[in-house]
Structure 1
Amino acid sequence: MPGRTRSLLALPKAHLHLHFTGSMRVDTVRDLADKHGLRLPHALTSQWPPRLSGHDERGWFRFQRLYDAARAVVRDEADMRRIVREAAQDDAAEGSRWLEIQVDPTSYAPFVGGLTPALEIVLDEARSVSAAGPTQVAVVVAASRMRHPLDARALARLAARHAGDSAGTVVGFGLSNDERRGWTGDFEPAFRIAAKAGLASVPHAGELLGADHVAVALDHLLPDRLGHGIRAVEDESVLARVVDEQVTLEVCPGSNVALGVYEHLGTVPLPRLLQVGARVALGADDPLLFGSRLADQYVSARLDHGLDDDALALLARGSIEGSVASPSTRRQLLAEVDAWLDSPEPPTDA
């Protein structure tokens, strides 16, 4: 690994895997709990970040319980706007110039008058923070595997009404939550609705389940990107499909380790993905629960895998090329990555 390296905070990048609830600062969760007179689990008040594991049902239950507790403190429009605004601020500080924040408006709908107002609040605040810059914020609407596939179709129709490729619009449709639940193929009609509206297909697959589930997602949901997808490396034929079909993998090393998918950051098979030519976009997933943000994933790529600045720039390009930003925005951001790589190296590590 070279001793002279450029600042990773200054590296222009896109952030394609960040959940609305999971993006919250822990201090914000505590503030909102106080605001609404709610009690938080001990892990969100004094033992942060929490110790998690997705190895078994009990481990995932603890993760989900903490996630639900955090989501429960979001009770009004001001809360929702604060989350979008702070996510943009935090991303901007880490060099993220395009953020696609993922939200399921179902949980917030009862507090603001329904699904449509919940989504429109997020979109309106995304437009507002994007106008202020420097980070442009778009939205991915995500259905939950824990709910009926008909609910996913309703969300897909809602997302389609707000489709676009600019800040403050819906740019993709996703499928989140425990991928061990339900049958992915049942959600295919919802993804057809989204695709007809021009939305990117961005379901989760290949973190808690292996390459066989990546194949199921490829067959039924025709993804442009896969949330995680890291375990495609477990089957060479599936990995070849990911590369051949040009599916971007939203790799979230901090999440993988926190949930016990890999023992430590050095065992996340990021180098293998790059070796075979897969397009990779690093993401933070849920910083609130995993304790690491976007820049930390790039630091891990540098320190745990020995990637040099050329390889790190390749990761940044992968995030931009895998985004649903307009062609002009992608060209501008890619030029900024080139400028970062052409800049002089500092005399010490940055």
Structure 2
Amino acid sequence: MTEPRRDLGLLPKAHLHLHFTGSMRHDTLLELAARDGIVLPESLVSEWPPELSAADEKGWFRFQRLYDVARSVLRTEGDVRRLVLEAAEDDVREGGRWLEIQVDPSGYAAKFGGITAFTDLVLDCVRDASERTGLGIALVIAANRTRHPMDARTLARLAAQYADRGVVGFGLSNDERRGSTADFAPAFRIAERAGLLMVPHGGELVGAANIRACLDHLHAGRLGHGVRVVEDPALLERVVESGVALEVCPVSNVALGVYSDLTSVPLTQLLDAGATVALGADDPLLFGSRLEGQYATMRAAHDLSDDTLAELARMSFRASRAPSDVKDAGLAAIDAWATNDPATGPDDRSFGSS
């Protein structure tokens, strides 16, 4: 007889890798597109979630094009407010207690009055969503590595201005195969001096070389993805010893062709080496799986025990920029989840409201 397993939807979690437009509900995308007569590609309608690959630049371009099409449906302040609130509601429904959502304001500036005006709008939406759902939410401002490093400096200065007003980190996203990581070091120094956490993407589409560059030149405190650090044992040891957390997004790793299937995602290798891992959903709109799904797929693919899943959730809080009281409450709630009888444990979905 199979032993009962604890409900992963009740496991308290911190969510550290979620992109802004990528957090949108599929139904919301369809509704907003229909409202404004935007014709979406079938891969975002009847064939959703789309078949994706990033094995080459053509595949990444298709992924990025779909993301840009989805972003185009955000046309009003109300649309932005709805996106943030629904992202918060979805995380709370799946056990979320803390969310750090990542955005590149320059991608929305033309429609919303510039990067500063858009950042103000998002932070106002974050405050509103947090009050309405009980979810703690902070912002990571990210530069785009396919654009000029001077643009990244502009965003770093913007992030620094909001360092004590809801922005907790500075990132670097998009295709790792484009541009030179070292060229973005001056931007990261600006953000670092403001006390922000350095959270560049690295180690998904490109292996150890870019992880090393993120550590050496960008002083990464967390790595977006970072999963391919297992390819270099010495580098993995360095990551473990320095306490750099890895924001691992299993479903997107497989969808983009980094790994052939979920059993190939080297989560257990990372854990066995002592790495700090925080599971994240990346872009649920394009990959079709939210935060709870990352825990569920890794439980199934690697036969993870509830104790291991609880420790993954603990690591997500420890690696976050959540206030100490939020961390402490989250860790205590995880302990309660891990010790409750899985067949009769209390339902803790009462956290937050919407």
TM-score between both structures, scaled by the size of structure 1: 0.96
* Residue 282 (structure 1) aligns with: 279
* Residue 3 (structure 2) aligns with: 3
What does 1:88-99 align with in structure 2 at a 5 Å threshold?
A: 88-99=88-99
Q: CA RMSD in A?
A: 1.5
* Residue 312 (structure 1) aligns with: 309
Letter in 1 for 2:240: V
Post-superposition CA distance 1:251-290 (Å, at most 9, x none): 0000100000000001100000000100000000000111
Letter in 1 for 2:4: R
Gaps (5+ residues) in structure 2? Answer: 348-354
* Residue 343 (structure 1) aligns with: 340
What does 1:260-299 align with in structure 2 at a 5 Å threshold?
A: 260-299=257-296
Distance 1:53 1:132 in 2: 37
CA contact (8 A) 1:2 1:308 kept: no
Gaps (5+ residues) in structure 1? Answer: none
Shift of 1:37: 2.3
* Residue 324 (structure 1) aligns with: 321
* Count of aligned pairs: 346
Post-superposition CA distance 1:295-325 (Å, at most 9, x none): 0110012111011011001100110000001
Shift of 1:111: 1.3
* Residue 161 (structure 1) aligns with: 161
Shift of 1:36: 2.4
Q: 2:223 aligns with which of 222, 226, 250?
A: 226
What does 1:133-172 align with in structure 2 at a 5 Å threshold?
A: 133-164=133-164, 169-172=166-169
Post-superposition CA distance 1:2-57 (Å, at most 9, x none): 72211100000100000001111111111121222221111111110000011112
* Residue 198 (structure 2) aligns with: 201
Distance 2:142 2:320 in 1: 16
| 2:22 is the counterpart of 1:22 | yes
TM-score between both structures, scaled by the size of structure 2: 0.95
CA contact (8 A) 2:136 2:322 kept: no
Post-superposition CA distance 1:228-268 (Å, at most 9, x none): 00000000011011101100000000010000000000110
Shift of 1:130: 0.9
Distance 1:151 1:3 in 2: 54
Distance 1:43 1:162 in 2: 37
Distance 2:141 2:195 in 1: 13
Distance 2:235 2:59 in 1: 28
* Residue 132 (structure 1) aligns with: 132
* Residue 81 (structure 1) aligns with: 81
Distance 2:76 2:147 in 1: 23
